[in-house]
Structures are given as structure tokens and as C-alpha cells.
Structure 1
């Protein structure tokens, strides 16, 4: 089989599963033993026809991972960098998640998790909730502030 056609087939198969960045496709082609010049030709052609668009990928990735996984801007920036998205494209996509949206998402995550912590004492709740937010990339200051507010609010709700 023609190496260009083979490389194109690999890329199209990967793109059928989910959108991917140019770097991800390049890495997949390298793992399959596709020569660099063939990979570059195929990737350039996919760019030209709009099947590979790192800026669009970054926007969709950020929206999805922030809304459904609750990841912070910092965690999203790390993921985009790992996927090979250019800094400029990543910054534009991350600009859609402002501080207010990030804090509101953190509050929603804490409220949801707080319900499952039941009768745990306040210190345990704070430790577990701050840890959860830290794993999702939220800053320590934001995590503590949000958790303290939400734990205090839940304690007040329990007394009434």
C-alpha cells in the first residue's frame, strides 16, 4: 500500500474517534513507523482541508473538560500543552473560562461532593474537599476560600 495513503488512513481512523491535535497525529504516525516527510505531507493536507485545527480543538477541549470534569484553567493549560497546542491557541481557548466561571465550577464540585461526605467532621470535610479541588488544578487560595464558604453554608443549612 502507498505510504501516503497508509498515513492518511491512520489519521482518519484516529480522527473518527475524537478530534486530535497535529502533534497527537504526528506522534501516532511516528509510532506506526511512518517516515517524517510522508507524515508532514499528510498532516499539512489535513490542515489545509480543515480536519486538523488545533485552535478549534483547544476551544472544544477546554469547554468540555471544564464543564464536565470541573478542571481549572491551570490544569487545562497543562493538558493543552501536553497535547501540543500552541501557547497562543491555548490562551485564546482558556480566556473563555474567566475567574468567575472557574470559582462557580469549584463551588458546584464542592457542593456535590459535600453531600457524599455525610457526618464527617468539619476538618475532614475541608481536607477532602480541598484535596479534590487541588487534584483538579485549582489554586490553594481559591480552594480554601470556596470550601470554607460551602462547608459553613452547609453547616448553617443543617441547623435550620
Structure 2
């Protein structure tokens, strides 16, 4: 679509903002239709596409008002995803950090989702190792497994200390 076509299309739709902002809006909505993204990811996407930071910020504000971008909703969905797959709080926190969701929103969601983290670690351990590790070698494997899954070291030591 040429610039002239974009202007005509915007005029037909009754948009009153500048062309760049409407183009950014359209591109962001198409991009967000594929999957949910954070505010940080959306802003990076728009600035990487050549839109001015002010335009990206304005469009992001509109997207948030319309409910297309919601960091709390994304944090809850991603934390639930990692919880269902048997990963710990640290793994979910790393995922949220990589997506640019941090602070009170992320902490609140992680606290709620991983309140039963010890039980989750025990169930993951039981499934993976068919019960309690029987010797030091199995214990070391279980230790590494749980750490790699994103469970805190202190929790892993407590669980395996009780098991051995």
C-alpha cells in the first residue's frame, strides 16, 4: 500500500491521527493478533519497524486502553504455562523478565501461581524419578534436574534432604 493509498484509507475510516501513528496501530494490531505480547515487546517491535518512539508510546497507550496489551494478563498466562509444565518460579520469572514484564505485576502473579512450589517440585520429582532417589548418584541427578527446572536451591536441598 502506498502512502497515498494509506492516507485515503485512513480518511475513509475517519482517523484523525497522523499517518505514521495509524500505520503503527495497524501493524501492531496485526502483530498482536498472532499471540499475546508485553508492552515492552510491543514498543520494541514498533521502534524496530522505524516508528518514532513517541509514536510507539502513543500507540502502546491506545493498545493498552483497548485491552490488546495487558502485562498482568500475559504474566498470568505465562506463569500458568510454566506451572502446568512442571517448572519452578525461577523459570517463569526468567521468561517474564525476557519479555519485559517485571516489578509488582510479575511478583504478584508469581506469588499466586507458585504458592505451592514445594508440592510442585515433589510431584515433578516423583514423576521423573519414580519416587525417591535411591543413591548419591540419583540424588545428584535429581538435584540438577530440579535446579534446571527453575526451583530454588534451598527448596531442592530441603526436598532431597528429606528424601535421602
Common fold by TM > 0.5: yes
Aligned mate of 2:118, from 90, 103, 121? 103
Task: Give the alignment's TM-score, normalised by structure 2.
Answer: 0.76
Larger CA Rg, structure 1 vs 2? 2
Task: Give the Å deviation of 1:135.
Answer: 1.3
Could you tell me how far apart the structure 1 residues matched to 2:129 and 2:162 are? Answer: 12
Which of 95, 110, 129 pairs up with 1:114?
Answer: 129
Secondary structure at the counterpart of residue 96 of structure 1: helix
Q: Could you tell me how far 1:93 is from its partner in structure 2?
A: 0.6
Counterparts of 1:3 and 1:48 in 2: how far apart (Å)? 19
The whole-number CA distance in structure 2 between the counterparts of 1:20 and 1:8 is 15
Query: Does the Cα contact within 8 Å between 2:82 and 2:91 map onto a contact in 1?
Result: no
Question: Is 1:50 the equivalent of 2:48?
Answer: no
Aligned-residue offset at 1:146: 2.4
Q: Which has the higher helix share?
A: 1
- Work out the CA distance in 2 between the residues paired with 1:121 and 1:58: 38
Structure 2: runs of 5 or more not aligned: 1-5, 7-18
> What are the Cα deviations for residues 24-57 of structure 1, in whole angstroms up to 9, with x where unaligned?
1111112222211221121111011111111121
CA distance in 2, matches of 1:94, 1:8: 31
Instruction: Note if contact 2:71-2:105 (Cα within 8 Å) is conserved in structure 1.
Output: yes
Question: Could you tell me the TM-score, scaled by structure 1's length?
Answer: 0.77
TM-superposed CA distance for 1:102, in Å, is 0.5
- What is the DSSP-based 3-state SS (H/G/I as helix, E as strand, rest coil) of the residue aligned with 1:95? helix
State the aligned residue count: 145
Which residue does the alignment assign to 1:31? Answer: 48
- Contact in 1 for aligned 2:38/2:71 (Cα 8 Å): yes
- When the two chains are superposed, the root-mean-square deviation of aligned CA atoms in Å is 2.2
